[in-house]
Amino acid sequence: MRHQGHVSVIERQKRSRLAKLLHDRRFLCGSLVTMARTCGNPGCKCMRGQKHVSLYLSIKDGQKRKMIYVPPHWEQTIHAWVEVYQQIKQITNEVSQLCLQRFLAAKQSDRK
């Protein structure tokens, strides 16, 4: 196995940040959706056009998309967890690009 010295400083920093997020923070793999709905109560304001606005967590459950209602007292927490997931996803993509560049460079030097 090769020594860590072959990995760039930028990649090591990204991997370190990724490990810290995975170890220290909670995250949810999904996205948040705000929906406006009517409740069906004939006397409610939503029947006059002022719909109820709610936050939902959209996740993939197998091949299906699932929407989970987020109660108001959980909104801030769920926002934070989804934000951590977005950071993890971004850093993972960046590390993947660095690995791809390293692979393509090694592949090119193999031809020589």
**Which alpha helices (DSSP H) does the chain contain, by range?**
9-24, 75-111
pLDDT digits 0-9 by tens, 56-101: 999 999 999 999 999 999 999 999 999 999 999 999 999 999 999 9
The domain total for the chain is 1
Round to whole Å and give the CA distance between 110 and 16.
30
Q: Number of helices and strands (H, E) in the chain?
A: 2, 3
Read off the tokens for 6.
Answer: 């072959």
Read off the tokens for 16.
Answer: 């370190």
Round to whole Å and give the CA distance between 27 and 86.
9
* More confident site: 67 or 42: 67
Residue 55 lies in domain: 4-111
Instruction: Tell me what pLDDT residue 1 has.
Output: 46
